[in-house]
Amino acid sequence: MGGKRRPQSKEAVAAPSLDWQASDAPGKRRRKRGVSWLLWLLGPLLAGGAVLFLGAKEPPAHMKPQEAETPAVKVDEGTDKMKPPPVDLHNTSECAAWAADGQCAANGAFMLTRCELSCLKLELVKQAYERRCPKPENYTPTLAPGQMPRTFARIMSHFQELEPEMISEDPPVILFHKFLSDAEAEAFIKHGAGRYSKSLGVGLDKDGKMADVPTEIRTSSHGWCQHQACLDDPEVQRVTARVADVTQTPTENAEFAQLVYYHACDDESDNNKCAFYRRHSDYIAGDQYRLQGVRIYTLFTYLNDVPEGGATRFTDLPNGPVTFQPVKGKAVLWPSVLADEPHTVDPRTHHEALPVTKGEKYGANFWIHQYNFRNTHAKGCTAG
């Protein structure tokens, strides 16, 4: 997704040698065995790609790679019908980012011609994950298709003390004018102290594994409310229960609260000095095959007043962009998925955090998944 947590890993994945059919016989047999193995692995992937071809779209314009030069693949006479080993014909780190973003499935035809190696790596990682973390039986998603509008209508009628304001109906976005008490907001700031470190994005590392990778689109810092003192704090527990109640999701489906921090900078166009998070979606495509499922909702809480800058801006809402200035205790709730297809990203809720130009900004992200996150985390299955 455009501007999403696109990895900026400088570590390009080395393309395998193109000289794969040398003529000495034992070596050739070995290589042929290697080729058959690759064909065996690639079979389902390529078949999937072919199926996807009819409905395939190219990545959106802002994600579209430049035309890549096709490297000459040396093919021996008599074996020219065999498929050469997978390569990324386009810039590999960009291919890896698109693969991590779910483009191998969403844009199979395009990706399998240009980013085959990255798609293959992702497929192998996925197969290894599924062996390591098998899905339990009766694994029921929390958010059923069509449920979302009822949840948002219930918020408007049942939680008047939180002063909800419906900013957008489709997709639903609610601003709570009074979500946190002062004591609750201060508790999160207290538990974040000394724990903030530079934020990373989610992407593929050089082995094709989902990993935290450096990103130029996010320069803020964050820590997690994952330590016992934070988890046991009654102020924190009250908020966690409120988030679950409002969103009609089990507390176990929420990630540990992510505590974010943005320092101020004088010149908001100075990428090196400012703290921001450029336009992105909180949806992580790779979570589709993981036990926790994708993130369905974000509830973002503001922990302090920010005198200037630092707003959250929704860039793609149907009625035009909407900007929320951080005020202590306020919160915004939105879905990352479509109401009728709650596993599919809703690109209309892309958003960005603008640079803080005066003061500083503290916030907390509550990310809620389609399935149980806490058990999945305890099993070591939220990543990989």
Task: Point out which residues bind ligand AKG (CB under 6 A).
Answer: 260, 277, 282, 300, 312, 351, 353, 363, 365
Closest distance to ligand AKG from the beta carbon of 100 (Å): 16
* CB-nearer residue toward ligand AKG: 315 or 370: 315
How many CB atoms are closer than 10 A to CB 198?
12
* CB-nearer residue toward ligand AKG: 20 or 300: 300
**How far is Cα 331 from Cα 188, in angstroms, rounded to an integer?**
14
* CB-nearer residue toward ligand AKG: 16 or 347: 347
Closest distance to ligand AKG from the beta carbon of 363 (Å): 5
Pick from Fe ion, ligand AKG, none: which does 84 bind, CB < 5 to 8 A by kind? none
Closest distance to ligand AKG from the beta carbon of 260 (Å): 5
Closest distance to ligand AKG from the beta carbon of 222 (Å): 7
* CB-nearer residue toward Fe ion: 235 or 282: 282
Closest distance to ligand AKG from the beta carbon of 170 (Å): 21
Closest distance to ligand AKG from the beta carbon of 382 (Å): 17
Q: Which helix (H) or strand (E) holds 278?
A: strand 277-280
- Token pair for 304: 């302090």
Give 358's contacts (C-beta < 8 A, 6+ positions apart).
264, 306, 307, 308, 309
Pick from ligand AKG, Fe ion, none: which does 260 bind, CB < 5 to 8 A by kind? ligand AKG
* CB-nearer residue toward Fe ion: 20 or 276: 276
Q: Give the β-pairing of 201-204 and 210-213.
A: antiparallel
CB 349 within 8 A of CB 281: yes
Closest distance to ligand AKG from the beta carbon of 282 (Å): 5
Q: How far is CA 86 from CA 11, 19, 162, 307, in A?
A: 18, 13, 54, 52
Q: Give the β-pairing of 361-369 and 331-335.
A: unpaired
> In the 8-state DSSP scheme, what is residue 104?
H
* CB-nearer residue toward ligand AKG: 89 or 364: 364
Pick from ligand AKG, Fe ion, none: which does 300 bind, CB < 5 to 8 A by kind? ligand AKG
* CB-nearer residue toward ligand AKG: 98 or 362: 362
Pick from ligand AKG, Fe ion, none: which does 185 bind, CB < 5 to 8 A by kind? none
Of residues 24-83, those binding Fe ion (CB under 5 A) = none
Of residues 273-292, those binding Fe ion (CB under 5 A) = 282
Closest distance to ligand AKG from the beta carbon of 302 (Å): 8
Q: Is 370 helix (H, G, I), strand (E, B) or coil?
A: coil
**How far is Cα 142 from Cα 63, in angstroms, rounded to an integer?**
32
Query: What is the C-alpha radius of gyration for the chain, rounded to an integer number of angstroms?
Result: 23
Pick from Fe ion, ligand AKG, none: which does 366 bind, CB < 5 to 8 A by kind? none
Question: DSSP alpha helices (H): ranges in the chain?
Answer: 25-53, 92-100, 103-106, 108-114, 116-132, 148-158, 182-192, 228-232, 234-247, 373-378
Of 9, 61, 2, the C-alpha closest to 216 is 9
Q: Is 166 helix (H, G, I), strand (E, B) or coil?
A: strand
Pick from ligand AKG, Fe ion, none: which does 52 bind, CB < 5 to 8 A by kind? none
* CB-nearer residue toward ligand AKG: 7 or 363: 363
Residues within the interface to Fe ion (CB under 5 A): 282
